[in-house]
Structure 1
Amino acid sequence: MSKEKLTIEQVLSLDLPNIILFAAPIMIGLVALEWFLSYRQKKDYYDSKDTLAATFIGLVNVAMSAAIKVVTFGIILYFYNLVPWSIPHTWWAYVLCFVWIDFWRYWAHRIAHENRFWWATHVTHHNSEKYNWSVSFRLSWTQHIKIIFFIPVALAGFHPVVFFICHQIAVLYQFWIHTEYINKLPAVIEYFFTTPSHHRVHHASNEKYLDKNYGSTFIIWDRMFGTFMPEEERPDYGLTKQIKSYNPITLNFHEWADIVRDVKNSKSLKEAYAMVFTRPSELESVKAQFREKEKVKV
């Protein structure tokens, strides 16, 4: 017997709790506490303008998520209804769904670092030279298109309610790992879970740390797929080519603007394609190759 298809009205009528919205006052309070402690202890963990920019970016992001709620629900619901099977709405479904979501969060995150188009949806999170709890608010205003990476979760048959609750918890987990105040944790935790130590490496601009530790909640995916790197010396944070701005518009769209400029300056479709989809860390060498080819033609 085929499952009963759900409608968007049915899902929205459930009035799902916005876990992140409920947690927001606690997160903001912890940011204020961390900011105060770093000031009292004369640590360089915060920059006032940087924190205000991050907070503004985060608030706009929350508003955007609410505004496009029906669209994101609709996409997941469409693919859930597409398959004839479903996973029972039970407690263990949440456990399985959380792990399955985390697997796809790893790949979405990795692709966002290894493909320039997707990097443009993520770079905002990395263009701070500080590392503190406010950095967790810096989520690009164009990141919402990454919902396509989670279609496999719906196709697996997880109920949309299960998906959205697990996804919110996964996003919320990211908050606490953005701090320099928490050192390495016991080995068993460090082995399985993404910790502040692991994520500091991920935010580093040091060459040895680049493109490492993509794990969202579980670091085991990095260990399995060869992208794990332990924290050694304290990282330098930010981009390899840093953006000196506190303007939220610039912080969200500077990479998109650079892509448009590079495509306009391209001499061929092949070059234009490369300017959009090449690996960000290889961009300058790819540009140099195309310039050399132009010289040869002349």
Structure 2
Amino acid sequence: MKFESVQADVQPILLYAIPLIVFCIGLEWWLTRHDEGRTYDSRDFKASLGIGLGSLVINGVLKAATVGMSWFFYELVPWRLPNTWWVWVLAYLSIDLCNYVAHYTAHKQRVWWATHVTHHSSEHLNFSTSFRNSWTQYLKIIFFIPVWCSGIHPVITFTCYQLDLLYQFWIHTEVIPKLPRWLEYVFVTPSHHRVHHGRNPQYIDKNFGTTFIIWDRLFGTFQEETEEPVYGLTKPVTSYNVIYLNFHEWADIWRDLRKSRNVREVMAVLFGPP
């Protein structure tokens, strides 16, 4: 199968899901319209929507580059895994693990935090918050190279990547309470992700999983929701300007780089903690 055929076979799952996403947002707005603590803030919603539309355009433009990179690494390795059900499961688990590593790193190193801080800038948590994907988050695509080198076909890996991204939509809400214990033990739920967005001291840098919470349980980053989260950044960003929300941390990094006097200081600015 040639690269052009791979591009044609990759389906835009996220675009197909737009009607369901719009319905869920409308339903959530209706359910919370009289709840002062959870109702949609129009300025916050417009900022999330603007960021999301920009991210959608950027991902669409770079789709060919993503498929091309995955095809390049797929062609590098001499082995191939068959197109069977267990390979799909393996691909999804691998994508989810890579997402965990990328997400964890984005909270620990400043240059990667700059690609992620936009997502945490809202002081609300609702379905629209899931749209707040930084316009520079594409840089984290390098974390998926191990999957591309696994011998799994690019159509499978890219499809699983989209499904893993789509899964994250429904966990950005306060209207869904804690779920049955077995679900909470294996999968990332809204309760888990509310913790992740909380700036409460015990919630910071917890629950990095995207579909499976098992990675957090295995690697010691799990935290149960024990008190109501307070959302947003520890140093709040009050702007609703989508350009500022996407690039304010990059501007701060550039300012600090200009003050750096040697390589050690440059490395500390880029890869030190946020």
Q: What TM bracket, shorter-length normalisation?
A: over 0.9
Task: Compare 40-49 and 158-167 and name the one that shifted more.
Answer: 40-49
Tell me the TM-score normalised to structure 2 length.
0.97
Matched, 1:10 2:14: no
The answer to whether the Cα contact below 8 Å between 1:45 and 1:180 also exists between their aligned partners in 2 is: no
After superposition, give the CA deviation of every residue in 1:259-285 in whole Å (9 maximum; x if it has no partner): 0011112233322221111011xxxxx
Partner of 1:292: none
Q: Which runs of 5+ in 2 are unaligned?
A: none
SS at match of 2:17: helix
Task: After the TM superposition, list the runs of 4 or more consecutive aligned residues in structure 1 that deviate by more than 3 angstroms.
Answer: 41-45
Q: Which runs of 5+ in 1 are unaligned?
A: 1-5, 281-298
Shift of 1:7: 3.3
Residues 209-288 of structure 1 correspond to what in structure 2 (within 5 A)?
209-280=203-274
Identity score, percent: 53
Query: What is the Cα-based RMSD across aligned positions, in Å?
Result: 1.2
Matched, 1:180 2:167: no
After superposition, give the CA deviation of every residue in 1:100-130 in whole Å (9 maximum; x if it has no partner): 1111111011001011000100111100000
Partner of 1:189: 183
Partner of 1:291: none
Task: Compare 83-92 and 33-42 and name the one that shifted more.
Answer: 33-42
The answer to whether the Cα contact below 8 Å between 2:38 and 2:174 also exists between their aligned partners in 1 is: no
Distance in 1 (CA, whole Å) between partners of 2:179 and 2:80 is: 38
How many residues get paired?
274
Partner of 2:98: 104
Match of 2:137 among 136, 143, 148: 143
Residues 43-82 of structure 1 correspond to what in structure 2 (within 5 A)?
43-82=37-76
The answer to whether the Cα contact below 8 Å between 2:108 and 2:273 also exists between their aligned partners in 1 is: yes
Distance in 1 (CA, whole Å) between partners of 2:38 and 2:209 is: 26
Matched, 1:164 2:158: yes
**Structure number, greater radius of gyration:** 1
AA of the residue aligned to 1:21: L
Distance in 1 (CA, whole Å) between partners of 2:150 and 2:70 is: 11
Partner of 1:89: 83
Task: Compare 174-183 and 265-274 and name the one that shifted more.
Answer: 265-274
Task: Compare 34-43 and 131-140 and name the one that shifted more.
Answer: 34-43
The answer to whether the Cα contact below 8 Å between 1:7 and 1:77 also exists between their aligned partners in 2 is: no
Partner of 1:121: 115
AA of the residue aligned to 2:171: I
Tell me the TM-score normalised to structure 1 length.
0.89
After superposition, give the CA deviation of every residue in 1:194-252 in whole Å (9 maximum; x if it has no partner): 00011001001111111000011000000100100000110100000011110000010
Distance in 1 (CA, whole Å) between partners of 2:22 and 2:228 is: 26
Shift of 1:45: 4.0
SS at match of 2:33: helix
The answer to whether the Cα contact below 8 Å between 2:188 and 2:211 also exists between their aligned partners in 1 is: yes
